[in-house]
């Protein structure tokens, strides 16, 4: 990506020195769909990009490497602000920029206490995105390398903020409270796929209007989406899926990339569901 020398966001909240410690956090087992469903049915639920598998330790890069990733994150956030601010303005809608919190190992949010094992997440309670930069190492472990792969994750979480602003996320939250587990998980998947599509909408504008993308970036994003599909992470257990299969995640990311239009991201209408 052509990100060096571009505007940095003023909405970065760096808590890396306030959280964590010398000990790395062990990812103690899979964050399975049942746990995610419980968290999302609570009043202080959060939405994240991926349910992670266990057996790994969250490893941190050197300070200089993390500082460079933090700078990259700030530039991507700034472009997301520019892109979505313009889209909302053209639609005659008020746009609130979310903050992005950088933390190390563990963090307290309006959605409760979380560790890096939860992966990046968006908390609608405080309208903030939470990101431990060590997740870049986890992406690489899953086979998703490249700067755009990491940008996709940030854009996905930003997509949840967009869903929150347009009212979709709170509607899903209310609907899930009265549904059984299967139907609740189905709504969760559609919400996650919408965030993927919104990430694709941003990518379209980032490439065509801001010349931020380079050859190969689109493929990096699609590979990242595939690597965090439910089937890629937990195998053929559809009753546990909460984020969508690899094919679904690539499909909706690609849909947003190709159209650059928010209207192409109504995953609920496509699935024949009304909120």
Q: 13 vs 37, 74, 121, CA distance in Å?
A: 28, 10, 15
User: What pLDDT is recorded for position 61?
Assistant: 59
The strands making up 121-123's β-sheet, listed across from edge to edge, are 12-14, 99-103, 128-132, 121-123, 47-48
Residue of 61 and 167 predicted with greater confidence: 167
Is 239 within a domain? yes
Is 4 within a domain? no
Its pTM stands at 0.86
Per residue in 210-264, pLDDT tens?
999 999 999 999 999 999 999 999 999 999 999 999 999 999 999 999 999 999 9
The number of domains in the chain is 1
User: What pLDDT is recorded for position 87?
Assistant: 98
User: What pLDDT is recorded for position 63?
Assistant: 78
What dihedral angle (degrees, nearest 10) is formed by the CA atoms of 242, 247, 252, 258?
A: 170
Per residue in 141-175, pLDDT tens?
998 989 999 999 999 999 999 999 999 999 999 99
CB 80 within 8 A of CB 158: yes
d(CA 236, CA 208): 37
d(CA 20, CA 225): 28
User: What pLDDT is recorded for position 65?
Assistant: 84
Supply the range of the domain harboring residue 241. 12-270
User: The tokens of 246 are what?
Assistant: 């690899």
Q: How many residues does the chain have?
A: 275
Is 147 within a domain? yes
Has residue 195 got a pLDDT over 50? yes
Is 224 within a domain? yes
User: What pLDDT is recorded for position 118?
Assistant: 84
Is 243 within a domain? yes
Q: 268 vs 176, 232, 241, CA distance in Å?
A: 14, 23, 17
Is 135 within a domain? yes
122 closest CA partner among 172, 82, 88: 172
What is the residue-averaged pLDDT of the chain?
87
Q: Mean pLDDT over residues 83-101, rounded?
A: 98
Is 2 within a domain? no
Has residue 29 got a pLDDT over 90? no
Range with the lowest mean pLDDT among 26-40, 122-136, 154-168, 233-247?
A: 26-40
User: What pLDDT is recorded for position 48?
Assistant: 66
Per residue in 102-117, pLDDT tens?
999 999 999 999 999 8
Give the relative orientation of helices 217-227 and 147-165 as an angle to the nearest 10 degrees: 70
Has residue 27 got a pLDDT over 80? no
Is 1 within a domain? no
d(CA 26, CA 238): 26
Kindly indicate the confidence band of residue 55, based on its pLDDT and cuts at 50, 70 and 90: very low
User: What pLDDT is recorded for position 44?
Assistant: 34
d(CA 128, CA 168): 17
């Amino acid at each position: 990506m052509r990100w060096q020398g571009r505007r940095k966001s003023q909405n970065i909240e760096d808590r890396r020195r306030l959280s964590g410690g010398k000990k790395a956090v062990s990812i103690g087992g899979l964050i399975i769909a049942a746990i995610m469903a419980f968290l999302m049915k609570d009043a202080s639920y959060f939405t994240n990009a991926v349910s992670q598998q266990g057996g790994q330790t969250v490893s941190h890069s050197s300070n200089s490497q993390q500082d460079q990733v933090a700078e990259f994150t700030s530039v991507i956030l700034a472009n997301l602000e520019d892109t979505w601010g313009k889209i909302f303005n053209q639609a005659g809608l008020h746009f609130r920029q979310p903050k992005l919190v950088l933390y190390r190992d563990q963090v307290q949010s309006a959605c409760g206490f979380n560790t890096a094992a939860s992966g990046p997440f968006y908390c609608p309670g405080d309208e903030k995105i939470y990101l431990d930069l060590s997740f870049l190492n986890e992406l690489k472990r899953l086979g998703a390398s490249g700067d755009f792969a990491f940008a996709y994750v940030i854009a996905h979480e930003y997509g949840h903020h967009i869903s929150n602003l347009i009212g979709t996320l709170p509607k899903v939250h209310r609907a899930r409270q009265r549904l059984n587990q299967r139907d609740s998980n189905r709504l969760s998947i559609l919400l996650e796929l919408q965030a993927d599509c919104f990430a694709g909408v941003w990518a379209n504008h980032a490439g065509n209007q801001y010349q931020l993308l380079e050859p190969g970036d689109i493929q990096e994003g699609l590979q990242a989406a595939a690597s965090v599909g439910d089937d890629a992470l937990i195998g053929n257990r559809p009753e546990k899926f909460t984020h969508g299969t690899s094919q679904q995640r690539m499909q909706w990311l690609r849909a947003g990339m190709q159209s650059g239009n928010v209207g192409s991201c109504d995953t609920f209408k496509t699935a024949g569901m009304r909120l």
